[in-house]
Structure 1
Amino acid sequence: MSVSPPMGMAGLAALEERLAHDLLTLNWRARPWLPTRSHGGQAVIDVLVIGAGQAGLAASMALAQQGVAAVLLDRAPADYEGPWATTARMETLRSPKELTGPALGVPSLTFRAWFEAQWGRDAWDALDKIPRLQWMDYLRWYRRVTGADVRNGHAATAVRPRADGLVEVDVQAPAGHATWLARRVVLATGRDGLGGPQIPPFMQDVERGLWAHSSDVLDYATLAGKRVGVIGMGSSAMDSASTALECGAASVDLIARRAAMPMVNKSKGSGVPGLTQGHYDLPDAWKWRIRHYINAQQVPPPHGSTLRVSRHANAFFHFGCAVHAVTQAGRELRVATARGTFAFNFLILATGFAIDWAQKPEFAPFARHVRTWGERYRPPPGEEDRELFDSPDLGPVFEFQEKAPGTCPGLDRIHCFCYPAALSHGTVSGDIPAISDGARRLASGIAGLLYREDVEHHHAVLQAYAEPELLGDEWTPADTSQRVLPSP
């Protein structure tokens, strides 16, 4: 006789009870072992994580397993961390539903467990891809059941490494402005973690009210009845184009420089455990070659996202249309391309992101000291790549390294756990497939660094340790003379 699965809130409550037991049996939250620190009467946080999206939450949970408490800062209001419920516009995630994401190897912490607890196995089997907003709901649940210490409405406005083993972080919060102190700072700041939207030079003189980047907050209902142009043909281009069409745009023209749409997701083809675990130790030439190949081949938009656009008769795909200039004629934009000039009422730039420290003024105190791959490695002709050139050259625990030793003491106390770490570590610090691998690497590395810094303290603790294993009454001393051979 089959038993119907638990559903809704009752099923979720049962799952949470199971998760609590799983974490108990795994002894997940190791007992605290770090000495409490203060400086000038102010408490020092062991690890301060900037960003409470999926990367920050995974890092927090992985650190908890190591007995290291983390505090997470996020400028967004509660439940709106990351892009999922704000600027993302895809209907579903690209990643296969079976991927375990930030679950860190705990079955009851996976999206699948969360989904089946509420809707059952049959609903799971019928699910194709994970709906975007449902993924956000899962992350909200993840935050709650893992007990992550998230401070919402807290924006880091300056990060200053110091020579005395501390990092200062200026924080603007609802209660006002304050400077926090931490031993380690983790930047879990997402896809644009060290920069922001990539805006082509041809947009320099165009009125800001006539265009937006695909990552901008935008009320797409304002595009109803307008002729909209989208520059780009990747995932964000499809998401923006389909949203505009669904909101009543008169037409949407997608403009691509490339001659044809890429058909194969090479990045997906590289996702094997060996690369996940071995990328950091590859020779520089192989790291660069693999990441450049994926960049050059370009990632195609998802199948469903493309169909979401093409099902509209007023959607038009244009290839081989490199943009030469964008000019303004009253309230209209003229986009001159290699195949002619388009006229639009509004333009959306789906041009991706750039590592651009100027867009992250909070990192200005240390940005100029960060060593990049452009200063580490010179690629062979034909493999030049701006994104890779600008990527930070990170150490084994995702830590920044100095261009010139000694010029920015304490820089290595800041850990880059966001997309720009990909060249150094592989895609383990942002994307769903290997986020748990990256979080474990980060957490175990930080735990080791903290122990090494406090080794004198831990040695003293070892010496003072006096909990008896034996009480002295577990045995009776023998009369040894009765048990040995007689003396000759």
Structure 2
Amino acid sequence: MSSHPTPYTSGLAALEARLRQDFSWLGLPGKSWVPTRTAAGQEVLDTAIVGGGMAGLALAAALKHLGVQARIFDRAPTGFEGPWATTARMETLRSPKELTGPALGFGALTFRAWFEAQFGLAAWAALDKIPRLQWAEYLRWYRQVLELDVQNQQRVLAVTPRADGLVQLDLADDTQASRIYTVLARHAVLATGRDGLGGPWVPDWAHGLPRDRWGHSADLWDAKALAGKRVAVIGGGASAMDSAATALEAGATRVDLLVRRTELPRINKGKGAGSPGIAQGFWALPDDWKWRLRHYINVQQVPPPHGSTLRVSRFANAHFHIGTPVSGAVLRDDGALRLDTAKGPLASDFVIFCTGFRLDWSLRPEFAGFARAVRLWQDRYQALPGQEDAELAQSPDLGPLFEFQEKTPGTCPGLERIHCFCYPSALSHGAVAGDIPQISDGAKRLAQGLAGQLFSEDIATHFASMENYAEPELFGDEWTPAQFPAYEGEPK
């Protein structure tokens, strides 16, 4: 099915009317109740969210329903938040189409409702997986129908916790010649996705190659430029299959997939633990169990999707090399690249690294104001023998509201007002900050926690408001005072 079928606009309008009715019946969104605050004459936001992808939108919606102000800042142009319409290259999502995603428990807010309203029940029944670009369109509608406050083309230059209980965001407005300005908020949430506290990882030797001869799967490279070229894809996961297929479909003459593992994983072990229980209970597990679960998933790895792999193997000029790690590469005199692999040298014109992401604070200068103060799991937890895991060890050790915690108490006042609602939170909270199956659970839990904290911080103000509340329920004229009857005495 095309990702852009002709919509039945009236159907979508009817769905939006139903959603408005549902919200009206439930009294949503909630009325604003958090006292307004200023600092040196500047507005202070209840919550500032960095990142307008699925996680940022779901959290903003959950906060809005609770009557808490949330403003999103995203560096991308409107409608291109997240990877879906830019660096993602899969044909369809991996997740089953029935998952409700960021709908927050509202049937009329699901992808299925959005799809059926436009294309009908028969089209839904015929749909296998959700087309990637159609998911991007759904998220655009989600933002629009919920009237979320998203500021686009805003680059975050610095996030700085302050001792006065505020978080300062320095931003560049790329819609106005990169105007620099400051935003203050009581809480800041980093909804920055898969590479939330770092970025794409490549081996050190990659940096010795000309930069125009390689890219990462997370880069926005031009597939058309690969026509007529030999392409080497390093990796065997989903992004490797998507990148290889994209190169083949663009006309690459040969694509070699170089997979370090001796065989591709075949079972997605993470599915074996998928349940409402893990969404609600992972964060409260003992440390040993948290580590054991996440380490097992890391070791087993997630297999590339069946369809994505077939998308590659249907090409006769696609070559799978299993058990073939790459140790280095150089530029030959004839202009080709020579890759040194465990099976010998390989000539290529372009290399695509599908080597994942790493938590690396040096890649995120906007977090330099607090990065060194953040407590990591390795600062307080020792893995059991045989379960050592560098990725997990470097994960931030987060509090119950996804908040960063100080490595050394007292060294970074206000750090706890910055919340990590992105992939690096997985060891502390599970997959509730980015994965489609659990994103509503994570968004609602964080939103409720933030609302509760905002209330407790302002309890004196709320108590004073209660004392000063003077709207009468009774006016004194609703009854006539009765004359008390005379006492007749007790019978003898």
1:169-206: CA deviation from partner (whole Å, max 9, x where unpaired)? 00100231101111110111111010000111221311
Distance in 1 separating the partners of 2:119 and 2:344? 52
Distance in 1 separating the partners of 2:159 and 2:204? 29
CA contact (8 A) 1:392 1:420 kept: yes
Which amino acid is the alignment partner of residue 14 of structure 2? A
Equivalent in the alignment of 1:350: 354
1:207 paired to 2:210: yes
Equivalent in the alignment of 2:409: 405
Shift of 1:452: 1.1
Which amino acid is the alignment partner of residue 141 of structure 1? W
Shift of 1:295: 0.6
How do 1:32-431 residues align onto structure 2 when only pairs under 5 Å count? 32-173=32-173, 174-175=175-176, 176-330=179-333, 331-431=335-435
Distance in 1 separating the partners of 2:232 and 2:456? 55
1:300-319: CA deviation from partner (whole Å, max 9, x where unpaired)? 00011000000000001111
Shift of 1:485: 6.3
Which amino acid is the alignment partner of residue 289 of structure 1? R
Alpha-carbon spacing, 1:483–1:327, altered in 2? closer, same or farther (3 Å): farther
RMSD (CA atoms):
1.5
Structure 2 counterpart SS, 1:324: strand
Distance in 2 separating the partners of 1:142 and 1:408? 37
Alpha-carbon spacing, 1:7–1:251, altered in 2? closer, same or farther (3 Å): closer
Distance in 2 separating the partners of 1:269 and 1:484? 80
Structure 1 counterpart SS, 2:368: helix
1:250-280: CA deviation from partner (whole Å, max 9, x where unpaired)? 1111111110011000112211111110001
Distance in 2 separating the partners of 1:323 and 1:375? 33
Equivalent in the alignment of 2:31: 31
Distance in 2 separating the partners of 1:288 and 1:402? 21
Structure 1 counterpart SS, 2:369: helix
Distance in 1 separating the partners of 2:340 and 2:39? 59
Shift of 1:482: 4.0
CA contact (8 A) 1:158 1:361 kept: yes
1:445 is aligned, of 438, 443, 449, to 449
1:323-348: CA deviation from partner (whole Å, max 9, x where unpaired)? 22222213222111222221111100
Alpha-carbon spacing, 1:282–1:483, altered in 2? closer, same or farther (3 Å): farther
Equivalent in the alignment of 2:3: none
Shift of 1:487: 12
Distance in 1 separating the partners of 2:488 and 2:61? 59
Alpha-carbon spacing, 1:341–1:476, altered in 2? closer, same or farther (3 Å): same
Which amino acid is the alignment partner of residue 232 of structure 1? G
Structure 2 counterpart SS, 1:434: helix
Distance in 1 separating the partners of 2:448 and 2:404? 17
Structure 2 counterpart SS, 1:80: coil
Shift of 1:121: 0.3
1:365-402: CA deviation from partner (whole Å, max 9, x where unpaired)? 00111111111211112111121111111111111100
Distance in 1 separating the partners of 2:484 and 2:214? 94
Structure 1 counterpart SS, 2:340: strand
Which amino acid is the alignment partner of residue 62 of structure 1? A
Distance in 1 separating the partners of 2:98 and 2:368? 40
CA contact (8 A) 1:7 1:120 kept: no
Structure 2, unpaired ranges of 5+: 1-5
Structure 2 counterpart SS, 1:368: helix
Structure 1 counterpart SS, 2:228: coil
Structure 1 counterpart SS, 2:370: helix
Shift of 1:472: 2.1
Alpha-carbon spacing, 1:314–1:44, altered in 2? closer, same or farther (3 Å): same
Distance in 2 separating the partners of 1:43 and 1:181? 7
Which amino acid is the alignment partner of residue 210 of structure 1? R
Equivalent in the alignment of 2:463: 459
Which amino acid is the alignment partner of residue 186 of structure 2? R
Structure 2 counterpart SS, 1:239: helix
Structure 1 counterpart SS, 2:295: helix
Structure 1, unpaired ranges of 5+: 1-5
Shift of 1:475: 3.1
Distance in 1 separating the partners of 2:260 and 2:364? 29
Shift of 1:483: 7.1
Which amino acid is the alignment partner of residue 273 of structure 1? P
Equivalent in the alignment of 1:3: none
Which deviates more from structure 2 when the two are superposed, residues 101-110 or residues 467-476? Answer: 467-476
CA contact (8 A) 1:199 1:349 kept: yes
Distance in 1 separating the partners of 2:163 and 2:34? 20
Structure 2 counterpart SS, 1:365: coil
Which deviates more from structure 2 when the two are superposed, residues 463-472 or residues 187-196? Answer: 463-472
1:441-481: CA deviation from partner (whole Å, max 9, x where unpaired)? 11000001111111111110111111112222333344445
Aligned length: 483
1:100-128: CA deviation from partner (whole Å, max 9, x where unpaired)? 00000011000000000000000000000
Distance in 1 separating the partners of 2:345 and 2:468? 79
Distance in 1 separating the partners of 2:282 and 2:362? 29
CA contact (8 A) 1:170 1:180 kept: yes
Q: Percent identity?
A: 60
Distance in 2 separating the partners of 1:304 and 1:70? 38
Which amino acid is the alignment partner of residue 281 of structure 1? A
Distance in 1 separating the partners of 2:60 and 2:169? 18
1:27-67: CA deviation from partner (whole Å, max 9, x where unpaired)? 12111111111111111111010111111100000001111
